[in-house]
Chain A
Amino acid sequence: HYPHTPTSFLPPPAKYGGRHTVTLIPGDGIGPELLNHVREVFRFSCVPVDFEVVHVNSAVETEDDINNAITAIRRNGVALKGNIETKHTMAPSVKSRNNLLRTSLDLYANVMHCQSLPGVQTRHKNIDIMIIRENTEGEYSSLEHESVSGVVESLKIITRNNSLRIADYAFKLAREKGRRRVTAVHKANIMKLGDGLFLQCCREVASGYPDITFDSMIVDNTTMQLVSKPQQFDVMVMPNLYGNVVSNVCAGLVGGPGLVPGANYGHVYAVFETATRNTGKSIANRNIANPTAMLLASCMMLDHLKLYDHASSIRNAILNTMNETRLHTADIGGQGTTSEVVQTIMRFIQSKGQLTSEY
């Protein structure tokens, strides 16, 4: 049974006429087409979700678009998004829209579950790692200045509050899922104060969970271990940047960016997307992108909305297509198009006898 979120402190958003409204941000690159497929599958399966589409133009400097998106998410409580490109040609003051969204909505926990899929050919097998990444501070604080011409300082902020908060989330989730071990990833031998504080907070929280083993590992050793023996890891918790590295390594190990969904949780809001947040510009609009990650993300969203039956139905169809039918897109070595995969998924849903619309 697929992981549920620890939603004891999160009420489901208000329903109007039995339907939910979810903010949808198409983003750039492959985002729009993948999200169209999500809508297609939802329509077909009669999922009681209406999408409020909010576009964010990555080419403009003003923050009006992203602020509108944030407002919409505050209103609806839940969002599904594609990645918004950050253009380097723009001034450094134009910050990453994705990051702005995460920090404004205080989506402090980025959660990713990397599992080996039987139908996908990879070098390593039997991987089952949950990564919990602090999502609002650390190296992503966007606090930079050029003190003297040619000398730039970038501030990494680590706070006790946010470190305790993410550690708490990690241990709660680990217990809820019946996981045995939490590993904190850090570089406290070099960043003694910053990562030292993070580690200390993890230890404090760990002491309240004697049933769960807690250990720690330095980030460079972690990546080395991941590429040689990834099966040793269970649940991992870490600050923002290491989370970026470890998530991507793990996604690569189980088959790539097209497969793994990601979730960003705060106390009030939740935003779902692909785990590795790629724009995929080079494969956009060619009907070759893998719809799996985004569709699985939409299933995580359905679980969050407590629409468990719909979530299971779609998820089973996706996994069946992946593992039994083995209809694969190019990124995992197949020759199927995006639409072929989506059609197959919908056919499987229909074959299970549930209510579907014309297609």
Chain B
Amino acid sequence: MYTHTHTFKEMQTVTLIPGDGIGPEISSAVMKIFETAKAPIRWEERNVTAIKGPGGRWMIPPDAKESMDKSKIGLKGPLKTPIAAGHPSMNLLLRKTFDLYANVRPCISIEGYKTPYTDVNLVTIRENTEGEYSGIEHVIVDGVVQSIKLITEDASRRIAEYAFEYARNNQRNSVTAVHKANIMRMSDGLFLRKCREVAENYKDIKFTEMYLDTVCLNMVQDPTQFDVLVMPNLYGDILSDLCAGLIGGLGVTPSGNIGANGVAIFESVHGTAPDIAGLDLANPTALLLSAVMMLRHMGLHDYGNKIQTACFDTIRDKKVLTKDLGGNSKCSEFTADICRRIQDLD
């Protein structure tokens, strides 16, 4: 029996978490751009500020969880963690709730936004559930602290598999495992072994291994030699920010978090910028590029490419840039320029 290809585009629901500070305004910018591009996305806005559930445990509001579980796809702006004692980190809570095990950051040089590095085109894939961020620490005796780094076979295999799948699905040529198995023989050794095992099933992708320090050394001299990088939590944290620095910082870097059960949450990784919130000065690029990542993840490559092209063209043109990009235009002006270009592209 043949399955028919629908000729009309089905609207897909995405859970939108505007976030705090500049979150709401950059989310509006993204929604406006998507509307102009006629992307088949229906936004379902939700708030994820933690509440105390039955039993006193912190959790995200049930309607937010329900929406994500159904839509499977989320787009999130920056969140602030309330200072209240015992309040968990919001990002950590989301991570645990949806088992967001892979943090993916494509770092591509933005033509028109000049940094000392051109031609950067790599992706960092970071294991996001264990490693050095297990949160297990104790004071053994006064003045001696032990922090535990946890590496498991399962988590290592899972992230390696994701990295190779990602490489295959996105036409990337190689995957490099980043480690320090010369020093952390057992833990990073285990991580490395799992990567090697998974690599056996992906002979079409080149697999290499490199020490973390060698990666850092080479990355700042010639980032073009890198393609997809996979690594445990801490190295991923450091390297993904280093790479964001190469292309211009967190204000222009997209990020995606892949969870179990097909859940994926895309987010901007900059802060809430409370000092400029509500003043129409924010730069929506990071959230927009994350939304583009989301479109590609959903198979809507044409829309993704169209929006990304318009965004990059606006930046390259330099006429309507927000302050952080070197201009003095408003967020709404920047957004309007992108929308205009999308209409012209059609």
Beta-carbon contacts under 8 Å, A256-279 to B: 256-257, 276-278
A187 contact set on B, CB distance < 8 A: 234, 237
Q: Of residues 235 to 261 in B, which have CB atoms within 8 Å of A's CB atoms?
A: 237-242, 244-246, 249-250
A106 at the interface (CB under 8 A from B): no
Give Cα A277 to B183, complex, Å: 13
Contacting pair A224 B242 (CB below 8 A): yes
**Interface code A123-148, partner B: CB below 8 Å = 1, 0 otherwise?**
11000000000000001101011100
CA distance A252 to B143 in the complex (A): 35
Contacts of B51 in A (CB 8 A): none
A residues near B148, Cβ cutoff 8 Å: 153-156
Q: Does A110 belong to the interface (CB within 8 Å)?
A: no
The 8 Å CB contact of A123, one of B117, B144, B237, B241, is B117
Given that A92-B189, A152-B150 are known contacts, is A193 also in contact with B183, CB under 8 Å in the complex? Answer: no
B214 touches A278 (CB 8 A): yes
**Nearest residue, chain A, Cβ from B223:** A227
With A and B bound together, what is the CA distance between A278 and B133 in angstroms? 28
Pick the contact of A223: B116, B117, B238 (CB < 8 A).
B238
B residues contacting the other copy or chain, number (CB 8 A): 55
Query: Is B318's CB within 8 Å of the partner chain A?
Result: no
Q: When A and B form their complex, what is the total count of cross-chain residue pairs whose Cβ atoms lie within 8 Å?
A: 169
The binding surface of chain A is classed by DSSP as mixed
Which of the residues A152, A197, A225, A245 comes within 8 Å of B186, measured between beta carbons?
A: A152
The reply to whether A257 and B146 contact each other, CB–CB distance below 8 Å, is: no
What separation, in Å, do the CA atoms of A144 and B249 have in the docked complex? 36
B245 contacts A225, C-beta separation under 8 Å: yes
Name the residue of chain B whose CB is nearest to the CB of A249: B216
- A253 to chain B: closest residue by CB: B220
Please tell me if the beta carbons of A139 and B183 are within 8 angstroms of each other in the complex: yes
A184-237 interface with B by 8 A CB criterion? 187, 190-194, 197, 219-221, 223-228
Q: Any chain B CB within 8 A of the CB of A115?
A: no
Judge whether B335 is part of the interface by a CB distance below 8 angstroms: no
Q: Which residue of B lies closest to A197 (CB)?
A: B145
- Centre residue among B133, B147, B189, B239 by max chain A CB count within 10 A: B147
The reply to whether A192 and B137 contact each other, CB–CB distance below 8 Å, is yes
| Beta-carbon contacts under 8 Å, B70-105 to A | none
Interface size on A, residues (CB 8 A): 59
Task: Report how far A193 CA is from B219 CA in the complex, Å.
Answer: 31
**A161-B137 contact given A151-B150, A219-B238, A245-B212, CB 8 Å threshold:** no
The residues of A that contact B273 with a CB separation of less than 8 Å are: none
**Beyond A220-B238, A224-B244, A257-B217, is A88–B182 a contact (Cβ under 8 Å)?**
yes
Q: Is A160 within 8 A of B143, CB to CB? A: yes
Report if B290 contacts A (CB, 8 A). no
CB distance from B90 to the nearest CB of A (A): 14
Expressed in whole angstroms, the Cα–Cα distance for A93 and B189 within the complex equals 12
A252–B221 contact, CB under 8 A? Answer: yes
Residues of A within 8 A of B172 (CB): none
Closest to B138 in A: A193
> Which of B53-61, B151-159, B200-208, B325-333 lines the interface with chain A?
B151-159
Least CB distance, A242 to chain B, in whole angstroms: 8
**Pairs A–B under 8 Å by Cβ, sample size 23:** A139-B183, A144-B184, A145-B186, A151-B151, A151-B153, A154-B151, A155-B147, A156-B149, A190-B133, A192-B137, A193-B147, A194-B145, A194-B146, A220-B237, A223-B241, A224-B250, A227-B117, A248-B213, A248-B214, A249-B220, A252-B218, A252-B220, A278-B214
Q: Which residues of B contact A (CB under 8 A)?
A: 115-117, 132-133, 135, 137-139, 142-154, 180-190, 192, 212-214, 216-221, 234, 237-242, 244-246, 249-250
Further pairs besides A94-B185, A151-B150: 13, Cβ < 8 Å: A86-B182, A123-B116, A124-B116, A154-B187, A155-B149, A193-B145, A224-B241, A224-B244, A226-B220, A248-B214, A248-B216, A248-B217, A249-B216
